[in-house]
Structure 1
Amino acid sequence: MFRPHRMLSLCTVVLAGFLTACGGAEQQVEDGLGTASAELESAGKKPAMIVYSLKGKVDQDGFVSLGPPSGLGGQVLEGNPKIYARIDYARGPVAAGLFKATKGKIRIVFPFTEHATIMEGEVIMTDEAGNTHKYKAGDSYFIRQGQVILWEVKGKEVIKSFFNTVEAQ
């Protein structure tokens, strides 16, 4: 069962990319970088600025598996896609970080409102109206919570930076 409020407790992503509800992912994410800034602040230290750069490869340290796409409200249409996230900031209904998805096609009802920028790879997204766009490194998009999107990664993987919020329903 899809529960947007649980997504918040997971401190996730990423389609994420993408954040919500599967039992085992909650502990994995909270034990990852999602709590790093809170730990630094409680120790009286300010967290360092995080730079997401298109120059060079994305640092993939700290990525954790989010489980199957169905845990975020996704329905796999092709392939065997895997999804991962690194949460660099999470407070209340807001989360930011990196999201990675491997090759495959997913239909997803976006469980949050999101602004994202593709860092590596490419993804083809199609909305309910049939508008299709191929996003590559440097491209950004904005999607509102509840929109239905076909998300298709044709290459090995896509990595995006994201900033999202779960809206009250």
Structure 2
Amino acid sequence: MMIPCVLNSELVALDAWGSPEDIGATTIEGPIAVSGKFLIGGPDKPVFGGLYAATRGTYRVVYAFHEHATLLDGEVAITDEKSARTVVYRPGDSWIIAKGTDVTWDIRSETIRKSYIATTIDL
């Protein structure tokens, strides 16, 4: 199976996941609606991935998994709370966030969408 995840193109319908609180985060400024689709595995598996989207706002989360992601749509500033480093991401930009990292997401566009692969396996 091959599922394209291309910039600025909604090829896969996403499921409503609720608010940041429903995925283990804390809303700082919102309301924020999150959605996604698991394309491989799921949160009960050691490796999973798919698509994730969120609306404008700010939330804080401690990562429960290691993640590599690429932003497909929108603009988001992600701050590593420990180092206070903020990086602004736009379509085509990627990041790696390690399990246990405390970050703040500042979604600056109406929506963002990313593709990602994640693992809960300690590296």
- For the criterion TM > 0.5, the same-fold answer is yes
Distance 2:108 2:92 in 1: 17
Answering whether residue 53 of structure 2 is matched by residue 104 of structure 1, we say no
Match of 2:67 among 100, 114, 127: 114
Answering whether residue 49 of structure 2 is matched by residue 93 of structure 1, we say no
How many pairs align?
A: 119
Distance 2:21 2:2 in 1: 33
Corresponding position of 2:88: 134
Answering whether residue 111 of structure 2 is matched by residue 160 of structure 1, we say no
CA RMSD for the aligned pairs?
A: 1.4
Asked whether the equivalents of residues 4 and 11 of structure 2 are also in contact (C-alpha less than 8 Å), the reply is: no
Residues 123 and 131 (structure 1), Cα distance of their counterparts in 2 relative to 1, 3 Å cut:
same
Answering whether residue 39 of structure 2 is matched by residue 82 of structure 1, we say no
Give the counterpart letter for 1:90 in structure 2: G
Asked whether the equivalents of residues 17 and 36 of structure 2 are also in contact (C-alpha less than 8 Å), the reply is: yes
Asked whether the equivalents of residues 145 and 167 of structure 1 are also in contact (C-alpha less than 8 Å), the reply is: no
Mind listing any 5+ residue stretches in structure 1 that lack a counterpart? 1-47
| TM-score of the pair, normalised by structure 2 | 0.90
Distance 1:167 1:106 in 2: 25
Could you say what secondary structure the match of 1:76 adopts?
A: strand
Q: Which has the higher strand share?
A: 2
What is the percentage of aligned positions where both structures have the same residue? 33
What pairs with 1:5-154 in structure 2 (closer than 5 Å)? 48-54=1-7, 56-61=8-13, 63-90=14-41, 92-128=45-81, 129-154=83-108
Mind listing any 5+ residue stretches in structure 2 that lack a counterpart? none
Which consecutive aligned stretches of 4+ in structure 1 deviate over 2 angstroms post-superposition?
none
| TM-score of the pair, normalised by structure 1 | 0.66
Give the counterpart letter for 2:101 in structure 1: Q
